[in-house]
């Protein structure tokens, strides 16, 4: 029994605490020896009395091949809880009142019909599995540490325990911290066995990352934490970082991060916790969250293990290890529906084992039973005669991604079948990740310009819609209007989701008369997820003219005459027109009108003036003839009178 002997002073403090109605804080119990490496917990689960708490643990089956699977796990009942506390951790006795334990000996959970239900785990020997439990905490719990005990495999009754921290109920109707934790939460390794490899071998594995929260997370980044210490990190470090970009994760969605890493030669056998930092955005254009530290376990066999037995299985016999040394695509960026060339350099990573008769087969990830990558030739296999230890060969294949593929990374599995001196028809596979992009697409609805002709200083209303016809989100969409006749203006539209429309509704001011065909440029710009700006140019028609004079003023000036013009009746019509024009110009100048436009047809005016001059000459000749006739007639009358 594990008991803590307290001094007389501590006993006095303990007694005073109960005398004044206080409840001592529960201390953490040492679960390491009790659990015997059957489970591990990365951090102490925390919750608030009256709220929910999530308990995450990794279950290890440390048995050998002859042992059975670990099939189920469940929460211990209150009676089992009390029995474990008494037998394993002690509760004190009347004979020895000095022997007490600083722990809250209260079953901390509210129980219903599903609280003690078994959960199937099916962990086979030599593997591990992560599981998560969520329970309702009692509201009457005080601040402190409590314990949760679980029974693994009912037939064996193997109990394990976890310390939990509970904050006292503060009277609030909602636990904001707990709600936040439920909104954004992740789990690693659900539904998969622990990866295993021997020293010097390549471990090809993937890590299942599940969004256990209630909200969608964006731009998820999954960063493996490296360590040069072989006792903490079992793999050779050949890259600067091992971050994976996993995109958008909806609640309940699980994605896989693939890895292919060589186990160090000097590694010791055992389970190794690999830490991953998970960062994400709560909104598509929001800030990145603080890193969330999660643990994933791998198992390796080191040189310290005994030599293989005579009946060793095929997975334990010596064979070559063929890995992906590097790969590239041409072009570098892969777009849905557009063919690309995949060049993969395969390397025999073995130090002294040859590989021959090698067949590489490329198998694409599938979505709804349809492969993402297809080959125009129909064949996706390549044969290489041999690869000596350390030798590299390059394989080239042409593929075309599905036009409807979502913008994210997809796995390409390279299946290997080859011979080694001691191992015939060995079968292995390695995986690479190929990011596929979608071409952003947009179009505009009918551009409405009201009115389509304005004067300098006036405004016109422009309205139209921008439709996102692609499969990717358009970030920070803007529309800019440019022309010599208008004031340049930017209209912000915002983010437009695939299949949705953003609207432009803005006023444009005329600043100068139109001197061209009246076209105004509309430059629509947007950003991709990396902040790269793309511009699309459209056009619209808008004419800007000089301000026109009030025609009422013109009509009021019809009777005005130039006083300098002779009132001669014969030339009155032309003189009157000239006088009116001169008077209008004089009045406009006096009124301060900046510009006055008179439209004339000069040729017609010249012709009319010439015709008018001819009429005047004819009238003058006729008048002279009449005067001569009258003179001669008068002269005849005078002669008759004489």
So where are the chain's domains? 1-181, 317-437, 442-545, 551-619
Digit-coded pLDDT (tens) for 279-333: 999 888 777 888 888 999 998 988 765 444 444 455 556 788 999 999 999 999 9
Binned at pLDDT 50, 70 and 90, residue 104 comes out as low
Mean predicted confidence (pLDDT) in 431-459: 93
Mean predicted confidence (pLDDT) in 594-617: 51
Q: Does residue 607 surpass a pLDDT of 60?
A: no
What pLDDT, on the 0 to 100 scale, is given for residue 358? 94
Asked if 317-437 and 442-545 have one fold, the answer is: yes
Handedness of CA 185, 190, 196, 202 (dihedral sign): negative
Q: Does domain 1-181 have CATH number 2.60.40.10?
A: yes
- Please report, rounded to a whole number, the percentage of residues in the chain having pLDDT higher than 70: 74
Q: 98-112, 174-188, 595-609: which range is least confident on average?
A: 595-609
Q: Does residue 554 surpass a pLDDT of 50?
A: yes
Structure tokens at 579: 């006088």
Structure tokens at 109: 């959970």
The three-state DSSP-derived secondary structure of 309-322 is CCCCCHHHCCCCCE
What pLDDT, on the 0 to 100 scale, is given for residue 241? 77
Q: Does residue 437 surpass a pLDDT of 70?
A: yes
The CATH number of the domain covering residues in 442-545: 2.60.40.10
Distance CA 47, CA 58 (A): 20
- Please report, rounded to a whole number, the percentage of residues in the chain having pLDDT higher than 90: 41
What pLDDT, on the 0 to 100 scale, is given for residue 342? 94
Binned at pLDDT 50, 70 and 90, residue 156 comes out as confident
Distance CA 78, CA 116 (A): 10
What pLDDT, on the 0 to 100 scale, is given for residue 254? 92
Binned at pLDDT 50, 70 and 90, residue 86 comes out as confident
Distance CA 67, CA 455 (A): 92
Q: 260-269, 277-286, 627-636: which range is least confident on average?
A: 627-636
Binned at pLDDT 50, 70 and 90, residue 634 comes out as low
pTM of the model: 0.37
What pLDDT, on the 0 to 100 scale, is given for residue 635? 54
What pLDDT, on the 0 to 100 scale, is given for residue 558? 52
- C-alpha pair distances (Å), 608 with each of 114, 601, 612, 616, 619: 108, 11, 6, 12, 16
Q: 235-239, 307-311, 371-375, 484-488: which range is least confident on average?
A: 307-311
What pLDDT, on the 0 to 100 scale, is given for residue 552? 57
CA dihedral 60, 64, 67, 71 (to 10 degrees): 20
Binned at pLDDT 50, 70 and 90, residue 507 comes out as very high
What pLDDT, on the 0 to 100 scale, is given for residue 596? 36
Q: Does residue 572 surpass a pLDDT of 70?
A: no
What pLDDT, on the 0 to 100 scale, is given for residue 374? 92
What's the mean pLDDT when you consider all of the chain? 79
Q: Does residue 500 surpass a pLDDT of 50?
A: yes
Q: 155-169, 254-268, 424-438, 617-631: which range is least confident on average?
A: 617-631
Q: Are 178 and 52 in contact (CB under 8 A)?
A: yes
Q: Does residue 343 surpass a pLDDT of 70?
A: yes
Mean predicted confidence (pLDDT) in 198-226: 91
Distance CA 611, CA 335 (A): 77
| DSSP of 22-62 | --PPPPPP-HHHHHTTSEE-SS--EEETTSEEEEEEEEE--
300: Cβ contacts below 8 Å, ≥ 6 apart: 196, 197, 198, 199, 203, 234, 263, 267, 269, 270, 272
Binned at pLDDT 50, 70 and 90, residue 18 comes out as very low
The CATH number of the domain covering residues in 317-437: 2.60.40.10
Distance CA 497, CA 70 (A): 47
């Amino acid at each position: 029994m594990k008991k803590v002997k307290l001094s007389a002073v501590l006993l006095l403090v303990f007694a005073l605490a109960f005398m004044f109605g206080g409840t001592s804080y529960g201390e953490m119990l040492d679960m390491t020896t009790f659990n015997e490496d059957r489970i591990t917990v990365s951090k102490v689960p925390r919750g608030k009395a009256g709220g929910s708490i999530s308990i995450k643990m990794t279950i290890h089956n440390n048995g050998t091949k002859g042992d059975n699977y670990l099939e189920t796990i469940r929460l211990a009942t209150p009676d089992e809880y009390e029995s474990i506390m008494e037998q394993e951790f002690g509760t004190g006795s009347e004979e020895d009142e000095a022997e007490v334990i600083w722990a809250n000996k209260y079953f901390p959970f509210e129980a219903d019909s599903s609280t003690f239900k078994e959960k199937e785990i099916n962990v086979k020997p030599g593997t591990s599995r992560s599981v998560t439990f969520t329970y309702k905490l009692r509201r009457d719990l005080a601040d402190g540490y409590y314990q949760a005990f679980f029974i693994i495999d009912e037939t064996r009754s193997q109990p394990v325990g976890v310390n939990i921290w509970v904050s006292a109920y503060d009277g609030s109707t909602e636990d904001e911290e707990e709600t936040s934790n439920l909104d954004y939460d992740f789990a690693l390794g659900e539904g998969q066995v622990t990866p295993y490899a021997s020293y010097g071998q390549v471990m090809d594995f993937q890590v299942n990352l599940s969004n256990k929260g209630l909200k969608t997370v964006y731009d998820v980044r999954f960063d493996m934490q490296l360590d040069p210490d072989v006792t903490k990190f079992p793999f050779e470090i050949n890259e600067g970082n091992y971050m994976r970009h996993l995109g958008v994760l909806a609640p309940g969605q699980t994605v896989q991060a693939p890895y292919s890493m060589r186990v160090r030669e000097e590694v010791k056998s055992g389970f190794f916790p690999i830490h991953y930092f998970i960062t994400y955005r709560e909104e598509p254009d929001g800030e990145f969250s603080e890193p969330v530290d999660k643990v994933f376990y791998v198992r390796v066999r080191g040189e310290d293990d005994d030599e293989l037995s005579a009946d060793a299985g095929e997975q334990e016999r010596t064979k070559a290890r063929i890995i992906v040394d590097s790969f590239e695509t041409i072009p570098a960026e892969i777009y849905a529906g557009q063919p690309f060339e995949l060049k993969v350099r395969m390397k025999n990573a073995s130090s002294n084992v040859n590989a021959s008769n090698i067949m590489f087969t490329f198998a694409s990830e599938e979505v709804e039973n349809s492969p993402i990558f297809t080959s125009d030739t129909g064949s996706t296999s390549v044969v290489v005669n041999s690869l000596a230890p350390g030798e590299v060969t390059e394989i080239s294949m042409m593929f075309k991604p599905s036009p409807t593929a979502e913008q994210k990374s997809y796995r390409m599995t390279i299946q290997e079948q080859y011979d080694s001196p001691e191992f015939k028809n060995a079968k292995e596979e390695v995986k690479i990740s190929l990011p596929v992009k979608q071409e952003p697409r947009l179009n505009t609805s009918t551009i409405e310009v009201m009115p389509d002709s304005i004067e300098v200083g006036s405004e016109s209303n422009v309205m139209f819609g921008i439709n996102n016809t692609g499969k990717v989100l358009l970030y920070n969409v803007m529309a800019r209007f440019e022309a010599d006749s208008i004031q340049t203006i930017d209209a912000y539209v915002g983010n437009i989701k695939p299949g949705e429309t953003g609207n432009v509704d803005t006023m444009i001011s005329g600043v100068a008369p139109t001197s061209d065909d009246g076209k105004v440029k509309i430059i629509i710009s947007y950003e991709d997820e990396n902040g790269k700006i793309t511009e699309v140019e459209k056009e619209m028609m808008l004419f800007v003219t000089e301000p026109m004079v009030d025609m009422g003023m013109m009509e009021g000036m019809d009777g005005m005459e130039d006083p300098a013009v002779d009132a001669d009746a014969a030339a009155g019509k032309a003189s009157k027109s000239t006088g009116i024009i001169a008077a209008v110009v004089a009045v406009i100048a006096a009124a301060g009108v900046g510009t006055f436009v008179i439209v004339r047809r000069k040729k017609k005016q010249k012709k009319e003036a010439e015709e008018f001059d001819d009429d005047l000459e004819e009238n003058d000749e006729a008048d002279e003839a009449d005067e001569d006739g009258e003179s001669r007639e008068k002269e005849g009358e005078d002669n008759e009178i004489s």
